Amino acid sequence: MDALPSSPLGWLCTGVTLLFGVTVLCMAKRSPVEKADVLVWRLLPALLGLLCAATLGAGGGLVVFCAVCLVSSAYLGVRALLPVGDKAVLITGSDTGIGHALAKYLDNLGFVVFAGVLNEDGPGAEELRRTCSQRLSLLQLDITNATQVKEAYLKVSEKVQNTGLWGVVNNAGILGIPADAELLPMSTYRRCMEVNFFGAVEVSKIFLPLLRKSQGRLVNVSSMAGGIPLPRYAAYGASKAALSMFSGVMRQELSKWGIKVAAIHPSGFRTGIQGTSDLWDKQIKELMENLPADTRQDYGEDYLLGLKSYFLHMPAYCNADLSPVLSAVLHALLAKRPHGLYTPGKGAYMSLCIFCYFPLWFYDFFISKMLSTESLPRALRTSEAETT
């Protein structure tokens, strides 16, 4: 009998705890998708409050109960998702990879999906037509073509009308050829910036009036290479870094309109962004034809051709399961309090932390070991041989 509350404060503590528990059960009934989170992070404080009231007394129990409630509420504020309802989302680059998987994923969840594709008659577009619901609409959308971007805007605005567009996912991107920055032709730098940065900016600017109507979300798929320097990804990384900085500025500027902006920095995933072996052959040919004679001599043709081996082995080091990226985009689209930055995938967050908080010499050492290659340019091999 001594465990029961015997003071007005004790009864108040017990009553608040019971009321909290009943409220949580009602929330779980209304939101079955989040039932596990709600039951764990709201019922747990309720039960803990009763236990504390019984063991610590009324005052101590109330203090512990309130403290745990604050922590769980903060956690649930991040975890809580809005209902899908009839929310409409535009995804660029839906032919293959993350964009293709995301279009299927969001369609399956009940979103109205506008899937922008580079080729509306291509195999990726045909598969979306075959496997997705009637809610999904395909858009011919080369994001470097201003006319196609404007035509896509007119088609989307006609369908969503006064409700606006809930989300824009700037996913379309190209990798270019992974090689030393000195070796890359200027055309590769320009092409990466044109697609990965300027294209995303163009789409964002054109579709922002529709996002303002819905107070929706702008999600930019950047890369781990957009947050940290990685050898052989100068052109790609620079374009993605520009996109990440654009996302940060837009997050600040668009908050006054109620629009939330997020950047996704995935680590290595198998998306097909590296293209085909035939595409590589075309790019390596362009690279070798544009190299100055002395640069070609210093690196050596065997080093240049060795880059192809690196290219062909890239997928083996990438994760084929895209679900971490899809979950991150979904959270960015539906969370009541989305993050400004997501780092899905193995090593993405750890590498970013090392770059930000450790000395640069340690980061460079870490990356050199993580991305170590046996091949050296000809001039360096010759220099080593002379000194031994």
Contact by Cβ (8 Å): 322, 101? yes
Burial class, 224, CB count within 10 angstroms (exposed 0-12 / middle 13-18 / buried 19+): buried
Residue for token pair 């080093």: 303
3-state secondary structure of 319: strand
| Closest of 66, 65, 38, 39 to residue 50, by C-alpha | 65
Distance CA(221)–CA(91), nearest Å, equals 10
Distance CA(335)–CA(352), nearest Å, equals 23
**366: which residues sit within 8 A by CB, 6+ positions away?**
351, 354, 358
DSSP string computed for 143-199: TT-HHHHHHHHHHHHHHHGGG---EEEE----------TTTS-HHHHHHHIIIIIII
3-state helix, strand, coil in the chain (%, to 5): 65, 10, 30
Distance CA(353)–CA(345), nearest Å, equals 14
Distance CA(10)–CA(57), nearest Å, equals 7
Dihedral Cα 369, 375, 380, 385, nearest 10 deg: 100
Residues assigned a catalytic role? 236
Long-range contacts of 8-13 (CB under 8 A, 24+ apart): 9/58, 9/59, 9/62, 10/53, 10/57, 10/58, 10/61, 12/58, 12/62, 13/49, 13/53, 13/58, 13/61, 13/62, 13/65
